[in-house]
Amino acid sequence: MATPIRSRLFLTCFLLIVSIAAVVEFGLSWLDGSPSIRILLELVLCAIGAAVVTYIFSRSLSWRIQRLKGFADHVLEQESVEAPLPDEGEETAVLNQALRKMASRIRDLVESLSSESARRDAILRSMVEGVLAVDHNHRVLFCNQAVQRILGLKGPVEEGTPLVGISREPQFLSLISKVLQTGEPITSKVQMPSEDNTVFEAYAVPLDIRPHRGALLILHDITGLERLERIRRDFVANVSHELRTPLTAIRGYAETLLSGAMADTENNRRFVEIIQAHAIRLNNIASDLLTLSDLESGRRDTPPGPVSVEDAVSTALLTVESEARIRGVNLVRGDVDDAVVTGHAIRLEQVLVNLLDNAVKFNKAGGEARIDACFQPDGNIYISVSDTGSGIPSDDVPRIFERFYRVDRARSREVGGTGLGLSIVKHVVERMEGTIRVESRLGKGSKFIIVLPPRVAA
């Protein structure tokens, strides 16, 4: 079936040739003055010849146009990159050249866009932050792996999936709905239901997808920041509380003395001793805070060197010996290997003194505090401090290394603890590239286990 262009061209050429032939023939007949059947036959033959010539010409032109159309239709397909165009003739030479240039430019542009799109997609999918794009019908346009992990999805999310199909969290859905309705960016905190109560800072902005508006949501995990903020608030509150108690006592007894109690020979010495005890407590808190600050800052006044574990154990036992004797707790020195680790002797002694001191103070009369140090099969040094005290409730075990955290606050103040000892222990062990853990059974006692790497000979 002939195309409209070909049909019009054919008709135009045919009529033009027939008209010219008719005019010429009738002109000659008029000059001769004798029209006849010969003239009609000649006109018919001219018409047939004109039709044949016109058909051949239009067929050739139509074939070239069809080839150009086929080239244009498949210009982006890989197999058509080198597809030949029709032989250039006078009719299509300019069009051929224009198509070749256009095809080259289009291919370059498409390749550039494809490469840019692939890079952008790879970046978005590998981001730690969750990225989710939806259209005006709440259907997913893009969802990276971080969102899949946040929402607990087992597989990739297909484009066009309804938003409620991947999450039914009201706060999450409400945030996206507000952006789609108002067209204004929104920042909010979103807490996803999970075992660790993960908190995200959600930033939602409108997404211009014509003819409708979509939404783009970015989820940034701020659980760690929230935890640090909580620790900071607790730290300020705990420091204020710990300092207020001895300061109040010191102020109260000082005012009592100034009000006339200095003349009370039966009680004035006891008042001064109480003031001294609370002043010592304040000094201990300040000292532990400075130690903890120094450990957390990472500053090293002197480079670490070889430290004898056996010497550190002996020093720690001597330090707490008098306290153990007063409280009726039996100190036991277990198997102690002559191991050498890398660190600072005073810090390792501080760790062992804190652990032994706790084992003595939070023990029962007639109880036992034991320390062992030996090599493990993997070459690491294993140091354990155990007691026969009341133990630690399982709910409190994960938090005992936090600053000012106490299992039994009343007894801790009674024995003079600052609540910073175990936090200092943990920081010292970590600076020595070791680990510490606790095993405890309520009513049976506790066991703190330190694992340190051996010193490597230079």
pLDDT in tens, 213-252: 888 888 888 888 888 787 777 777 777 777 787 888 888 8
**Residue, of 10 and 252, whose pLDDT is higher:** 252
Superfamily the domain 127-221 falls into: PAS domain (3.30.450.20)
For position 435, what pLDDT does the model report? Answer: 92
**Residue, of 289 and 323, whose pLDDT is higher:** 323
Average pLDDT value over all residues in the chain: 77
Which numeric CATH code is attached to 305-452? 3.30.565.10
Going from N- to C-terminal start, the domains of the chain cover 4-99, 127-221, 226-297, 305-452
pLDDT digits (tens, 9 = 90+) for 350-409: 899 889 988 888 888 888 999 999 988 888 999 999 999 888 888 888 888 877 776 665
**Residue, of 341 and 127, whose pLDDT is higher:** 341
Which numeric CATH code is attached to 226-297? 1.10.287.130
Q: Mean pLDDT, to the nearest integer, of 432-449?
A: 89
Q: Mean pLDDT, to the nearest integer, of 72-100?
A: 60
The gap from C-alpha 49 to its chain's centroid, in whole angstroms, comes to 81
For position 1, what pLDDT does the model report? Answer: 40
